[in-house]
Amino acid sequence: MLEKKGTNGRTSMQSVRSFVRSHKISQASTFPYCDASVDVCTHRTNQYYITRQDSTESNARSYPRKFPFALAKARGSWIEDVEGNKYLDFLCGAGTLALGHNDPEINQAMVDLITSNAPLHTLDLTTPVKDEFVHTLLDLLPLELKNNAKIQFCSPSGTDATDAALKLCKTATGRSSIIAFGGGYHGMGHGALACTGNLAAKEKVNALMPDVHFFPFPYSYRCPFAIGGDDGIDAACAYFERTLKDPESGITKPAAVIIESIQGEGGVIPAPIKFLQTIRRVTKELDIPLIVDEIQCGIGRSGKFFAFEYADIVPDVILLSKAIGGTQPMAVVVYNKKLDKWMQGAHTGTFRGNQLAMKAGTVVMNRVSNADFLAEVIKKGNYIEKRLIELKSKVSIIGDVRGKGLMLGIEFVNPKETIDSIGSFPASGEVAAEVQYKCFEKKLVVEKGGRNGSVMRCLCALNISDDDLVKAIDIFEEVVIAVNKKYGK
């Protein structure tokens, strides 16, 4: 009755009012999204909004297909839909919300800026807010880079940061080829997508940026050399070095090497310390700029402010987005000034002067870079990893648990199929999808990634409470044990 439509496609308010009067219902108490001060009720169901979204938004939309709800409220690690259902959010904007939803300090900083009459859109003109953001970020860089760093503000997406870095390195070196890695993800723009490993996203897009060469990324559970363990890492290191130093390799000297410290969309695969160190050593020896993509794994997600700090390396270029904007759109490229060969206006973006993002991002950097905060991230990550390893011992559908800090991945497999040459079962996107669906039913939002969508990923708020953390893992464990009864052996 409440969804009865008029000829104009809208809910008949006359029918709603009649229903309320006839049942002597208080609008304010019965319908959570009614404003009692006016005689209008705006209550709608999740299905109402999903149906409207389906009819108006691009077929490229993805998350609504997995999470069919319309969000109304959010705070901390919790989100609430328009029907009043509350969910624990372990997606958090794909890692964007480092301090969760509507953090009071972040919100207050943005409110203070808005009410101060400060400019909110400044292109690349400087402001006190921008100056504070820049110098806060510079102070967090490794000393070797801090003293020689430049910052490029981009259009507010990681994709544009990637494209800017590629242009920067090509301009500075005069070279064209790029080295990337299987399983890597760097965005959806033409240049960024060309450097991304996932084939499904590329198959229908013709003539992507040419001259990108992919190298194996160490992945012990599915070692590209079918070796695994330390021997697999050694093989990846040797292959990288020997190929780039081989005059018959077929690859011209690259303009850059681009790599994620921890592969995110590729399945939460940390780059081994030895591998990162080898890449840094070889690129230095050959004078090849090293671009490290920290868009998802940076800003404290790994338990270090930058995930590359585990390997004690200093990149030539760092890509930052997602959490760096403190919930607001922001992307920056930090690079060694020796590469700053750009002409005026060589890379621009209308919204590169987002003052709200700079203000909020400064709050995030100050909070997350605190040693005690990062120690808590590691502590919470260790708790999750311990629980997941214990869970893995109880079921047969989990093949691997891996990650660092609060960036963790659980790879689901089909244990009824044949193992490969190094003892790994085939990845199962079907099992992972079932786990995701059942988690959503139990009010836990968690996202997949990896080969065939088989890896469930932890991207919760870095300041998630212990109680919320335990609750989420309890739900996840309950679901996995139930799904194992269907798919396990």
Question: How do residues 189-198 score in pLDDT, each as one tens digit?
Answer: 999 999 999 9
pLDDT of 449 reads 95
Q: Which CATH number belongs to the domain containing residue 425 in this structure?
A: 3.90.1150.10
Q: Are residues 238 and 92 in the same domain?
A: no
Q: Are residues 334 and 403 in the same domain?
A: no
- Domain assignment present for residue 1? The answer is yes
**Total domains present in the chain:** 3
Is the pLDDT at 15 greater than 80? The verdict is no
Q: Are residues 353 and 385 in the same domain?
A: no
Contact between 87 and 443 under an 8 Å Cβ cutoff? The reply is yes
- Domain assignment present for residue 313? The answer is yes
Q: Whole domain around residue 392: which residue ranges?
A: 58-117+370-489
User: Cα dist. 133→292, 361, 370, 397 in Å?
Assistant: 21, 7, 16, 45
- Domain assignment present for residue 441? The answer is yes
Q: What is the pTM of this model?
A: 0.90
Q: Are residues 475 and 379 in the same domain?
A: yes
Q: Are residues 136 and 231 in the same domain?
A: yes
Q: Among 366, 399, 421, which residue terminates a domain?
A: 366
Q: Are residues 153 and 302 in the same domain?
A: yes
Q: Are residues 131 and 242 in the same domain?
A: yes
- Domain assignment present for residue 263? The answer is yes
Condensed to tens digits (0 to 9), the pLDDT of residues 367-411 reads 999 999 999 999 999 999 999 999 999 999 999 999 999 999 999
Q: Are residues 323 and 201 in the same domain?
A: yes
pLDDT-derived band of residue 42, with 50, 70 and 90 as boundaries?
A: low
Q: Which CATH number belongs to the domain containing residue 130 in this structure?
A: 3.40.640.10
Provide the residue type at 279 as one letter: I
- Domain assignment present for residue 53? The answer is no
- What residue spans of 57-177 are helical by DSSP H? 63-66, 92-95, 104-114, 128-138, 143-146, 158-173
pLDDT-derived band of residue 43, with 50, 70 and 90 as boundaries?
A: low
- Domain assignment present for residue 48? The answer is no
Strand duo 332-336 + 444-445: pairing? unpaired
Provide the residue type at 104 as one letter: P
> Cα–chain-centroid distance for residue 246?
36
pLDDT of 35 reads 36
Q: Are residues 108 and 156 in the same domain?
A: no
- Domain assignment present for residue 297? The answer is yes
284-320 as b/e, with b when 16 or more CB fall inside 10 Å?
eeeebbbbbbbbbbbbbbbbbbbbbbbbebbbbbbbb
Q: Distance between CA 165 and CA 185 in Å, rounded?
A: 15
Condensed to tens digits (0 to 9), the pLDDT of residues 203-247 reads 999 999 999 999 999 999 999 999 999 999 999 999 999 999 999
Q: Are residues 136 and 88 in the same domain?
A: no
Q: Distance between CA 459 and CA 436 in Å, rounded?
A: 14
For the residues 152-173, what does the mean pLDDT come to? 97
Q: Distance between CA 435 and CA 415 in Å, rounded?
A: 15
Q: Among 313, 340, 366, which residue terminates a domain?
A: 366
Q: Angle between the 355-368 and 371-392 helix axes, to the nearest 10 degrees?
A: 80
- Domain assignment present for residue 52? The answer is no
Q: Among 366, 385, 402, which residue terminates a domain?
A: 366
Return mean pLDDT, the chain. Answer: 91
Q: Are residues 144 and 242 in the same domain?
A: yes
Q: Are residues 286 and 314 in the same domain?
A: yes
